[in-house]
Structure 1
Amino acid sequence: MTVGTTGLPRGRPGRVRGPGARRTDRTVTRLLPGPLRVLVIVVLLAVVLGPVLYMVFASVSSDLSVAEGAFLPTQLDLGNYLRIWSTVDLGRGLANSLLVAGAVATACAFVSLGSAYVLVRHAFRGRLAVLRGLLALQSIPGTLMLLPVFVLFASAAQVFGVPVIGTRWALFVTYLTFALPFSTWVMVTYLRGLPPELDEAARVDGASSWQVLTRIILPLSWPGLVVAGIFALLLGWNDVLFASVMTNPDTRTAAVALQVFGATQEGGAIPVYGQLMAAALVCAAPVVLLYLLFQRYLISGLTSGGIK
């Protein structure tokens, strides 16, 4: 390493870090000693990855070995991943889950963007009441809303003569209703970080409110949209309570298909644990892949702004 004319060492280029960054690093380092940090990380990984590894090993084991309590497979049995498509009817459940949860995620992301834009950029009477109402809706447990929602949909079917219970539209409306308050708050928090000077500059050029929303706000809001959309998708993907009441065998989701399959195995001589674990891993795979694809947006979704 040599020293240049500026008095700084020449070597591999790196980021210049100030005294504050060094102090932060030292504070974090002093928080836990090195061996204790390694121990804590190992314990956390064991707690998180332990159940996942058990599911993976059980999915490639025979039902008898799993029933005996064996953790590691004594003999690989990949046939569980082939048999689940006929025993669990997983294909139809995954298709219904992708259709309903994907539609809810898309609609919720863009509706929450428009709602948040109005709440953040426009001042009107009742604006704070709307924001507080959205926050209050998050405190209501979903189990309390099951019977009212079911009665409402049944009454709507009698009034309009259109079947609602047992259709995918019932799940779509239900999940959209429960996901919109939180997604709107996510977008409100994100849009508050975008400088209003962007809107003013666009309006000076003659842009309307719709053009500002679609040409200025929308391209800058993709990280927040991804966060809101993934939350809505997880709500529809993991739900069992509403899906088990408002669906029939043709429209039930993957979560309900797993629940029904698990219930049919209770009381049997040797439950098919291998197929249950394989089906659970197949249902979890799309969500895991989604997180891996949009990890960058999830991390920066609530911190990035319009000015870099």
Structure 2
Amino acid sequence: MTTATTRRAAASRAAAKQPSVERPGSRRQNEVTRLLPTWLVATVATVLCALVLVPLCYIFLASLNSDIGVARGEFWPSSFSWENYSRIWSSVGLAGGLLNSVVVAGSTAVVSAFLSVATAYVLVRFQFRGRVTILRGLLGLQSVPGTLMLLPVFVLFSSAASYLGVKIIGTQWGLFLTYLTFALPFSTWVMVTYLRGLPRELEEAARIDGASNLGILTKIILPLSWPGIVVSGIFAFLLGWNDVLFASVMTRPETQTAAVALQLFASSTEGGAIPYYGQMMAASLVCAAPVVILYLIFQRYLVGGLTAGGVK
């Protein structure tokens, strides 16, 4: 009994000498690991939020104000009116532009996302000659400015229409091919980074069960790759939604996108006494709403897809 009591006392003294381990997320650990003081973090966060929210609030208030009030520099409208939101559908022609943008940008996002999964799966899981060259080429294509590709793409599509007798310029599917050319390399590189983090043991187990490469791709890779697919799809959607340069050259009035409609409306009102500031602000918010809704819906997938491959 005396020996057991002595051992317990020695163990208690040894435990008392050891430094206490803080629980993850405890207040003391947060204070030690925090690089900046609390007041500085709060100040920086407030400034960053103000840089985003103040212009957004001004645009919303200007959309409810009259054109004269906006021209005077009024931040708070003297009278609130929702007429600008009803006028934009006839003056700007926003309905057709939004429909074309949704069709072209949405199809680009879906096709590039799923094609990038199959391409990245081949580049990551198979060894063949030229594999590293293709990966370096995908990375190098991101450094080429889109303005340098405008004339070559236009000449290529014009020549194809002359030789094949198929009209490309001025159509929705011609603009879709243009956006797919720029969206597919980026989407493929995103999926290559994501698939490198998936364990190979799942595929090996499926091969033991007799699954083919196509079966592994559709039944294992696709269900596990939704965060990466969403990230690549959203970036491809933004490419087609925000583009003005290619859309202004590759479309006609029936197929112009919302970005081109806004540009034409802004340029057409510059010669007047007072531009339609209220309608331009309202149209800008309406065009930005689908992107914001898209981010809110797929927010949880975006976090997982953007951070994939960062930790091994």
Same fold (TM over 0.5): yes
Residue matched to 1:255: 259
Show the 5 A alignment for 1:1-308.
19=23, 22=26, 25-29=30-34, 31-303=35-307
Percent of aligned positions that are identical: 65
Instruction: Tell me how far 1:170 sits from its aligned partner.
Output: 1.3
- 1:245–1:24 distance in 2 versus 1, CA, 3 Å: farther
How far, CA to CA, are the matches of 1:24 and 1:239 in structure 2?
46
Counterpart of 1:26, as a letter, is E
**Structure 1 unaligned spans of 5+:** 1-16
How far, CA to CA, are the matches of 2:30 and 2:305 in structure 1?
25
Counterpart of 2:193, as a letter, is T
Instruction: Tell me how far 1:301 sits from its aligned partner.
Output: 1.2
How far, CA to CA, are the matches of 2:104 and 2:161 in structure 1?
20
Instruction: Tell me how far 1:303 sits from its aligned partner.
Output: 3.9
Instruction: Tell me how far 1:38 sits from its aligned partner.
Output: 2.0
How far, CA to CA, are the matches of 2:308 and 2:250 in structure 1?
39
Q: Deviations over 1:162-211 (max 9, x none)?
A: 11110111110010010111110110011001001111000000000000
**Residues 161, 168 of structure 2: 8 Å contact kept:** yes
How far, CA to CA, are the matches of 2:128 and 2:29 in structure 1?
43
SS at match of 1:301: helix
**Residues 189, 302 of structure 1: 8 Å contact kept:** no
How far, CA to CA, are the matches of 1:212 and 1:166 in structure 2?
40
How far, CA to CA, are the matches of 1:38 and 1:193 in structure 2?
35
**Residues 116, 187 of structure 2: 8 Å contact kept:** yes
Q: State the TM-score, normalizing by the size of structure 2.
A: 0.89
Residue matched to 2:6: none
How far, CA to CA, are the matches of 1:283 and 1:132 in structure 2?
36
Counterpart of 1:137, as a letter, is L
Counterpart of 1:283, as a letter, is C
Q: State the TM-score, normalizing by the size of structure 1.
A: 0.91
How many aligned positions are there?
A: 288
Counterpart of 2:121, as a letter, is Y
SS at match of 1:170: helix
Instruction: Tell me how far 1:19 sits from its aligned partner.
Output: 5.0
Q: Deviations over 1:13-38 (max 9, x none)?
A: xxxx9656557622453x22222222
Instruction: Tell me how far 1:39 sits from its aligned partner.
Output: 1.8
How far, CA to CA, are the matches of 1:24 and 1:278 in structure 2?
47
SS at match of 1:61: coil
> Highest CA radius of gyration, 1 or 2?
2
Instruction: Tell me how far 1:224 sits from its aligned partner.
Output: 0.5
Counterpart of 1:79, as a letter, is E
How far, CA to CA, are the matches of 1:302 and 1:272 in structure 2?
39
Runs of 4+ in 1 over 4 A off after TM superposition: 17-24
- 1:300–1:133 distance in 2 versus 1, CA, 3 Å: same
